[in-house]
Chains A and B, each alone.
Chain A
Amino acid sequence: MITGMERLVAAINGGVSDRIPVFCNLIDQGAKELGMPLKEYYADGAHVAEAQLRMRERYGHDNVWSLFYVGKEAELLGCRKIRYAEDGPPNVEDYVIKVYDDIAVLRIPTDLNAHPAFREELKCLQILKREVGGKYPICAYVTSTMTLPALLMGMDKWLELLLCGPPDLRDALLTKCHEFFVKEMTAYRDAGADVLVYSNPFGSTDTVSMNYFHDHSLPWIERDIKAVGTAGIVYYCGTSRFNRVIDSVLKRTGIGVYYLSPLDDLVEGKKIIAGRGLTCGVINDMKLIDWTREEIRAEVRRLIEAGMPGGKFLFGTGVMPYQIPEENIRTMLEAAYEYGSYEKQGS
């Protein structure tokens, strides 16, 4: 039987397998899978691993996740309060940086592996590696240097510091965030993660202007990637658009996988990448909550027909909202397997 890893590797190398790789990012849905409240679910890495494995078996997609919730990164940096919801992702409730003076005392843990907040993630990764390592890509999520401050002080205060604040303070914070970024990336790789989603909304032209991107975002992207290498790295801007910067990112960093925004023009994105990397076409999963079966199938078909010709293509989702009915998840995936099949096309 062909594995998810084989599909992914074939796609990256411009080859074919039975079908295109399909990534379905089910995160909070794991709690539903195990029939427990989200807070209880996220308290134990074994829960997350088990649910990831079960959901992958049941739905047949090609990836599993070690991500609990993004706020974990803030916990690793001192956040003590996470707000849980019954029907959505946990969020940072208390900011580590409340006033500018907190930046100077922000401490980057020396050894992430020894950090209690990292323990459960490591446990999860261990199980995933043992069960599906090498067969199904294990994904990890890492917030970029430029975006991490948003988790530590809120988007609001970060944008203010970035655009109007003292540059030395801004740079001091970014330097610390970069140090953390490198440690986190290294820890995930060491623990067996293969696909490292580099999440960088500040590398999107929906967030900053082109000039700002070139003057500030790109240099930090370069620094991040130079420090950790490009292996397994996926460029992702939190579903914000980034077609206009793909060429620069590619040339300056060598990152080989681009997880486009559902709001980006996929055909244009693929044209810009021009065979130099893997294009990931991403469905607007917010709409999956209400779309009918026909609408879902039509949209999956549209994306795959736009992205699949010429190969080097993956079909994926954003962070799937908890509200998407199971039936719709199935419909989307079945359509992706069908339209993304190479066998049917006889190639």
Chain B
Amino acid sequence: MLEQIIKSYNEAIFDTDREQALHVIHSAITQGVSPEDVIFKIVIPAIEQMVKSISEDFDANLAQHFMTAQIAAEVTEEMLAHFSKPPQVIGRVVIGTAEGDLHSLGKRIVMGCLKAQMIEVTDLGVNVPAERFVAEAVAHGARVIGISAMMAHTARGENGCLRVRQLLQERGLEGKIKIIVGGAPFRFDHELYRTVQADAWAEDGISAGKIITDLIREVQP
């Protein structure tokens, strides 16, 4: 039974059909699947499947990333309320767009994918100063700072990722907090993340989930 549900859910995600995806989940619940199983056996494997297809050269488009994240976040929120005991959080992340940058979509997609994977994300919003990235990461016990930037000057600027790196260095936090970046400039220049001294980058929101999980594991005490 579960196999059939997983298949239908994956198909709906692929077709960016939100209603169908939600319908599949709700009928699964009616058939007696537990909220925990919905997340761990349906939603997360669907994301993992997508990561796998992308790495095998399947080109997912922005709409698919958006819908995967949107649906996963919605379902997760709904299911979490019905969990028999609170789930174990894998780690914490803060995310925002670089100072001077107002593009919020990339961040939103990444957040949706992270939530479904039991990573606690704090949204710092847009136009976030470097100091705030670091202060909030410390306050939330975050292992990873995610910085989204859609333009050359906000990706490369002195007040962006470069400054976050400098602050982490100054405060001796580099072993505890990793930086991941993403957005158009990084997709056009795959080495740019090194230039701006980030630890990693991700080409898309779905892969970001996996890369961030790996980063968390690296620094998790």
| A contacts, CB < 8 Å to B | 83, 85, 87-89, 91-93, 154-156, 159-160, 163-164, 205-209, 212, 239, 262-263, 284, 286-287, 289-290, 321-323
Contact = CB atoms under 8 A, between A and B. Distances in A.
B102 A286 contact: no
26 contacts: A83-B100, A88-B152, A88-B157, A89-B153, A93-B102, A154-B104, A154-B105, A155-B105, A156-B108, A159-B63, A163-B16, A163-B18, A164-B70, A206-B61, A206-B62, A209-B16, A209-B64, A212-B63, A239-B188, A262-B188, A286-B152, A286-B189, A321-B151, A322-B153, A323-B152, A323-B156
Interface residues of B, number: 28
Contact of A287 (B16, B61, B66, B189): B189
Interface of B: 16, 18, 59, 61-64, 66-67, 70, 100-105, 108, 151-154, 156-157, 185, 188-189, 192, 195
Given A91-B102, A156-B108, A164-B18, A321 B152 contact: yes
B12 to A, nearest CB: 13
A209 B108 CA distance: 20
Nearest to B108: A156
Contacts, number: 84
Given A83-B102, A262-B188, A321 B16 contact: no
Contacts of A87: 153, 157
Nearest to A261: B188
A205 B154 CA distance: 26
A36 to B, nearest CB: 17
Contact of B188 (A92, A160, A284, A322): A284
A134 B7 CA distance: 60
A209 B61 contact: yes
A156 to B, nearest CB: 4
Please give me the 8 A-B residue pairs with the lowest Cβ-Cβ distance, nearest first.
A88-B153, A321-B152, A286-B188, A155-B105, A156-B105, A207-B62, A87-B153, A208-B63
B153 A163 contact: no
Contacts of B104: 154-156
Contact of A159 (B66, B154, B157): B66
Contacts of B152: 88, 286, 289, 321-323
A121 B2 CA distance: 60
Contacts of B105: 154-156, 159
A262 B192 CA distance: 17
A286 B70 CA distance: 30
Nearest to A211: B15
Contacts of A262: 188
A342 B101 CA distance: 43
Contacts of A263: 188
A179 to B, nearest CB: 25
A287 B103 contact: no
